[in-house]
Structure 1
Amino acid sequence: MDNHRLDIAAPQMLAVLAILATEHGCTLTAPELIGRIWSDNPPTSAISVLRNHISALRREFDAYGGAGAGFEWLDSTQGGYRLCLPVRFDVVQVEALIAAAEADRRSGAADRAETKLGTARSLWRGDPLVGLPGPWADQERNRLARLRSELGEATICVALDRGRYSVAIMEAQTLVAAEPHRERWHELLMVALSRGGRRVEALNTYRNAHRVLADEFGLSPGPEMVRLHQQLLAAEPPRYAATKLPPDLADFVGRANLVHELTEMLGADTEHRRAIAITGMGGIGKTAFAMHLAHQVRTHYPDGSLYLDLGGTEERPPSADMLLTVALRKIGVGPGELPSDATGRMVLWRNTVTDKRILLILDNARDVDQLTPLLPGVGAAAVLVTSRSSLAELFGARLVPLGVLTTDEARTLLQRLVTTRRLSDEPGAAREILRACGNVPVALHIVGARLATRPHWRLTTVAERLADEHQRLTELTLGNTSVESVFRGSYRLLVPELARAFVLLAFAEALELSVAAVAALLDRERAEAEQFCEALVDHGMLQTPKLGHYRQHDLMRLFARKVADPAQRRELPQALRRLREFYTAPPAGPLFTGERDGTAAPGTTLLMTERRHG
């Protein structure tokens, strides 16, 4: 009621109001209210007392809202009572903030998580439901106490992630004092003290916990507390074995055989594990595939799971030294324990994780050089790498190049996003949308999300807009996500000669080109043209269906045409003329046998135009 405070002193009356508020809009019968206030043995006068409380509440409402407000806001209906006022609870906001903070923390955004938890803590003022009688109030106090403990634990975890050990220690001490029988609080306090350089106090925490558990409950410490104690005795920095993974996609589809094969490999009980490198063009779903695998097998890695974005498509990706620092901090190495030089940090990283049963997800690697310092070496740690680079030089790794989804998989994904009914109502339009998206997951997600949030749009209209190649990339945009921005991250890594080849290939009106045809188009020697093509394949920007033949995905082709600079456009007519002459020139002898088998047979005319490409 805005900021107006009702003048209610009677605890039972407050309990009645609180119960009705938590059941806002629902009718509670008199027996239900009596049971929540007096339990199973209410006094004989309970119904009269309840009615008096209802009347008193209505008078308070009348005093605030005017005559008649009491009966309007506190309704009598169907043998019970219902509060009709709008109600807002701080506790609902606290629960939402804790969940959002945990999602931020899993994605590595500990700073955002800390801000959200700070907001949640500011909403918690004093003890809840003080003085309210009855079993309902007791249950709510217990529930809210658990929520406050959950808030405290989340605060400790984020403080540990951010190296704020004094904050983590104070919060853990508060939880230990409130619930000395909870091993979890003692464990967190041991970790926080150890990371804060207070190893002796961490050992004392273990001894105190051991005494409390033994004297009061006849119990011994659990395996996690024992493990932490052993690490402290061995002077090892305790590692906080937490799963720090982005969430799995609820609508993940496809690649079932590959998922089965790789989950078996990752879940196998072996001392030596190979790195798995998932590669492919931008937007193909590499990160989603890696996250899906990680969530399938994370229970096989008791020492935890760790996600690290290497920022490989950024203009200035993080250095190996910075990435090693972030990785070491995430597994619990304190600032004072970090070696001063990059080599020392790499050695510490490998010594720390190689023999641990830990799952590392190294996402978005630029190339093997950036990746190598983070690889733990041969041991029990498993590594999932994603990259737009082919990572062909990552010897010993299992290379997994991802292609586009099959048509059935693409349809299933779109169906999950848009609903089966809408696709069935316009099957032809659905097929055209799939074709325009080229079965690329990021394009399908964009179209699916737009259709899902616009339930009255017809699929036919969307298909017609996507059919316009000049506007297709513009249509494949949603907020800050677009197919064009995904591809641009790869394009800006190309040296000028590769960028030129990438663009000119896009204007050849051919589904596939041989090396000889590419050499003519680029006006380069055949060996050099092949080197360019193979480099583009390694960048995930060109496909090689068979040795010596190359093609671009339709969406990549549209992107290449869009980013062509003025110099490349000026060169285009001559480049297309060279390619046309290559296909139309008569064979000069055996040397040319098989060199014109792109999309045109030897001696035939390749259908090309010199129309002005926008």
Structure 2
Amino acid sequence: MLLLAHGSPVPYSELAEGLWGEDAPQNADRLLADQATGLRETLGPGLLATTAGGYALYTGPDAVDVGRFESLVADSVEHRHAGDRVAARAALHSALALWTGYPVEGVPGPAARRTRNRLRALRLDLRRAGAELDLELGQFERAAADLGDLLRSHPAHAALRELHMLALRGLGRASEAVASYEAFTRYGEPSPAMLRLYGELRAGAGDGDHVGIDVRYPQGTPGATRDAVSRTLTRLLSDGEPAAVSLAQRVREDCSLVLPVSTRPALTLLSLVMNELPFALLELADPPTIRATFWHTVPPEEVRGLPDPDDKPVLVVLSPEFHGRLAGDSSGPDPARFSLGDPPEAWYCPLGRRTAPPPSEPGRDLVRGPFTTRDLRSLRTPDPRSSAIVHTLPPDDSLTLLNPGRPLGKRTSWPLITYYEVALTSQRLDRDLSLPSSGGGTFAATAALIWHIDDPVAFVRAAAPEVQERLFAHLVEEGGRITRRYPLRRATAAEQALRQGLHTWPVPGLSVTCEVRLTPDEKPSSAARARQATTKRRGRRAP
């Protein structure tokens, strides 16, 4: 508060209200005096003065960044009034360059909160003024980029939206400007100026095919899902219409994109969307709803007669004219896959499903899958301490371990790839069992089996079911072959022989540790009792 007063005295009452609001303590004057003492010790002599009713802090004209900021803003306004737009834009750029983080961040109290709100509102106004100057100077690319960034956090700001439309029109991207307007209508009523601009844009957008991509994410969608959708749409658009790649990269957030395409790329893109997009979304736990509209001109704001998304994440919509072309062109999808809306304004085809990923193959321990994808980059990067991904490698479908840094080298699109998620965490099984000794006796054994996957590719390739039971069965069989060579009195030697002999296990890709404790079983086994009974019978003398 003292810094922002620029050397003018600030009364005690104003300082107390700014620090504590209506909850100022009764000893506020004493607390202010203590803080002033600490401030003097920090700043040194001659800066903080005690006045008749408060305090004043004397600093140089450039000591406070807010002062420099406001001075540059005043310079920009003066240059603009004088008609020097270049100097005005330069002064604004210098003012905004001083901005880092939030103003008075971490400072408590009502005064700090009011100052934060005022300066943040001022910064937004300055960024809008900078965009206006960019438009006046013909810097449409910079204006479109800055305004697009602002609209991601202020989608309902009408003035920013109108400037964004003007910037896109200046770049010759009328279809995108139309989409920007239509996105705004979800948040508020357009102004008369926006309505006039929208009419001009639609009239000047021209004929020809247009593709609209509308993406809506569920609340709380994680960033990894948004990134995966952005990469998928970028890849599809780059294959069908390379000029649209920069647009698709914006679909990390809710958005509407409209782009013009020629007839042949439009049909190619339609096939890609229908054949690949639903499968890509199946890999996501909570996919967005995507409507892909293929129209013979700029798509209308609203198409009636379409179904609700329900459990279908993708809805492909065609204008009647566009649908009519499919019958005479074998490169596009089968027109019979589409249904006519009611009223019959468009044809539509819902695709995909919102179900959980397919279950793992029966009996497959530590492995989830198989799943499929066409873009390995859409998968979440596994934590190497606990999981791995094994996938097929085109063209021979051999198995390999996913390299998150360069999945399949530089290529981003392949035929359908199968992949498995492999758990690398340790597993444990504790069981009691009996193992034979020499002479017909039995060892009572307590066994602990501990294992983890150290070769995911070998483990997936082996497709071994019921790993736990296979390991235990191997312990019983091979352990029995070892212990039956030792009498009960040599339990310690039998334990050591088990540790040395159980080093090969029947499941590839596993690292297994086995700990066994043996004690003589005082109660003879049924087999031993049978042998003893036979011996006694054979030893009896005939009467």
Shorter chain as normaliser: what TM range? 0.3 to 0.5
Q: Which has the higher helix share?
A: 1
Q: Which has the higher strand share?
A: 2
TM-score by structure 2 length?
A: 0.35
Between the two structures, name the one with larger relative contact order (CA 8 Å, sep ≥ 6).
1
TM-score by structure 1 length?
A: 0.31
